[in-house]
Amino acid sequence: MSRVILFAVDPGGANCIVPVFRALSSGNEFDPVLYGKGLACRIFQSEGLPFRDIEFEPGYGRPGWAEGFLGSALPRALVTGTSIDDFRERDLWRAASGLGVPSAAILDYWVSYTLRFSSITSSDVGSGLKPSIDILPDHICVPDGYAKQEMVKEGFDPDRLAVTGQPHFDALSTLASGSHEAASRYRSGHDIAEGARIITYVSDALAQAFGPDTLSHWGLDDMTVLQALFGSLGRLCSGRTGDWRAHLVIRPHPREPADTYDDLISSNKWDRIDVSRDSETPARDLILASDAVAGISSIMLLEAAVFGKAVFSIQPGIRQPDPFILSRTGRVRAFTSPDGLDGPLEEFLSGKVRGNADLSFAGGATDKVTALIREMIVAGK
């Protein structure tokens, strides 16, 4: 059997790696070994997968650790995620190139293409530095032709980009049928008022990624976006139009302290809207239980659209190109002014709008990534 090392750091990369690992484990052709770091380990553990924390490997973090790691593991191929601010995947790509081990990285989202393959971090970008394409695997698996087109415009070699689809999306559309049961469980377990529409705000943790220059670089952060949402809800409550109730759930990003938004929550009280914070419910269950998902550009907004939920991408004062793929391609609307959110939000709360048209992705991404791994092993590159 051909040994394949799979590794991820961020949740997005881990979610891509999970179905690929399962596919490689299903027969006698491959010997997949799964490694994680940080938040990816939580994903692998929640999925019940056997994995190893790479931080406990001998020599981890020392100069030459990646060469020593791959040299002792002797894989026929390396497959990773594409973290933005962690360089361990990049360390492994560089080491794999030197050892003659073919490598591939799976792009989980349509944003920060160049930064994922550069030698600088998000905070450097926030401070004004411009990323360049510095460190690359042999192959990059991209979710669709649009991502490939955007990456080619940024200077990526099209021959290095394989349009495979996003493996995490393969099974999403089949889960939408569980929304009613998920909502019932969530309502009963979280004391949601009868008939209240559940809106979940999901944080992108921009301030954690881009540092103290986030507002000057982006023109917004999750705190200002959430304040805009609260302002819109407050105006709707004051107007008292329609007969509706709502429950707003705040979902901090895993990188944020759980109490990041607690002061904002406690300072906003309405008679028609309850507000709570939820850091514990699995992301997919929370999306399924929600009637709408709001945020800037989190992948949870994209998953919500796949499930047929209403999606509100809120971007007041944004100074950068639209980071949300669905609004960037005209499939949903991005709200770039605070008062522009009032009308659509009121239509949603009053039941005039139930959700976006179901969004579907071409299936078979996991099979395509698996086929690429097979080709890499045969060709040795």
The residues spanned by each domain of the chain are 2-170+363-379, 173-349
State which amino acid sits at residue 346: E
Q: What are phi and psi of 163, to 5 degrees?
A: -80, 100
Return the higher-pLDDT residue of 180 and 236: 236
Q: From start to end of 68-176, where are the E strands?
A: 77-80, 103-106, 139-142, 161-163
pLDDT at 26: 94
Query: Among 103-112, 210-219, 234-243, 290-299, which is the least confidently predicted range?
Result: 234-243
Is 262 in contact with 277 (CB distance < 8 Å)? yes
Q: How confident is the model at residue 294 (pLDDT cuts 50, 70, 90)?
A: very high
Q: Is the alpha carbon torsion for 321, 323, 324, 329 positive or negative?
A: positive
Is 60 in contact with 36 (CB distance < 8 Å)? no
Q: Could you tell me the pTM of the whole model?
A: 0.92
Q: Please choose, from the candidates 68, 141, 209, the residue with its C-alpha nearest in 3D space to the C-alpha of residue 367.
A: 141
Is 313 in contact with 356 (CB distance < 8 Å)? no
pLDDT at 30: 97
Is 321 in contact with 328 (CB distance < 8 Å)? yes
Q: How big is the chain, counted in residues?
A: 381
Which residues sit opposite 79 in a β-bridge? 6, 104
User: How far is 147 from 283, CA to CA, in rounded Å?
Assistant: 25
Q: What's the Cα-to-Cα distance from 188 to each of 69, 179, 191, 276, 289, rounded to whole Å?
A: 48, 14, 6, 14, 11
Average pLDDT, the chain: 92
Query: Among 49-63, 136-150, 234-248, 366-380, which is the least confidently predicted range?
Result: 234-248
- pLDDT tens digits along 65-99: 999 999 999 999 999 999 999 999 999 999 999 99
User: How far is 265 from 262, CA to CA, in rounded Å?
Assistant: 5
pLDDT at 183: 80
Helix orientation angle between 365-379 and 11-25, rounded to the nearest 10 degrees: 70
* Beta-carbon count within 10 A of 173 CB: 16
- pLDDT tens digits along 327-337: 999 888 999 98
pLDDT for 237 beyond 90 = no
pLDDT for 306 beyond 70 = yes
pLDDT at 50: 98
Cα 184 → chain centroid: 26
pLDDT at 307: 87
Q: Is the alpha carbon torsion for 325, 330, 336, 339 positive or negative?
A: negative
Which residues sit opposite 106 in a β-bridge? 141
User: How far is 173 from 175, CA to CA, in rounded Å?
Assistant: 5
pLDDT at 117: 98
* Strands 246-251 and 273-277, bridge-based pairing: parallel
User: How far is 8 from 371, CA to CA, in rounded Å?
Assistant: 20
Q: How confident is the model at residue 356 (pLDDT cuts 50, 70, 90)?
A: low
- pLDDT tens digits along 136-188: 999 999 999 999 999 999 999 999 999 999 999 987 766 766 677 878 888 88
In our burial notation (b when 16+ CB lie closer than 10 A, e otherwise), range 257-295 reads: eeebbeeebeebebebbbbebeeebebbebbbbbbbbbb
318-346 average pLDDT score: 91
342-353 average pLDDT score: 88
- pLDDT tens digits along 107-149: 999 999 999 999 999 989 988 999 999 999 999 999 999 999 9
Cα 150 → chain centroid: 18
Is 229 in contact with 222 (CB distance < 8 Å)? no
pLDDT for 357 beyond 70 = no
pLDDT at 267: 86
pLDDT for 358 beyond 60 = no
% of residues, the chain, pLDDT over 90: 72
SS3 content of the chain, % helix, strand, coil (to 5): 45, 15, 40
**Residue 293: CA count within 13 A, CB half-sphere:** 28
User: How far is 86 from 239, CA to CA, in rounded Å?
Assistant: 47
Query: For residue 358, what is the DSSP state?
Result: P
25-50 average pLDDT score: 96
pLDDT at 147: 96
Q: Which CATH number is 2-170+363-379 given?
A: 3.40.50.2000
2-170+363-379 matches 173-349 in fold: yes
Q: Per the CATH hierarchy, to which homologous superfamily does domain 173-349 belong?
A: Glycogen Phosphorylase B; (3.40.50.2000)
pLDDT for 252 beyond 80 = yes
User: How far is 215 from 210, CA to CA, in rounded Å?
Assistant: 9
* Six token digits for residue 115: 């930064």
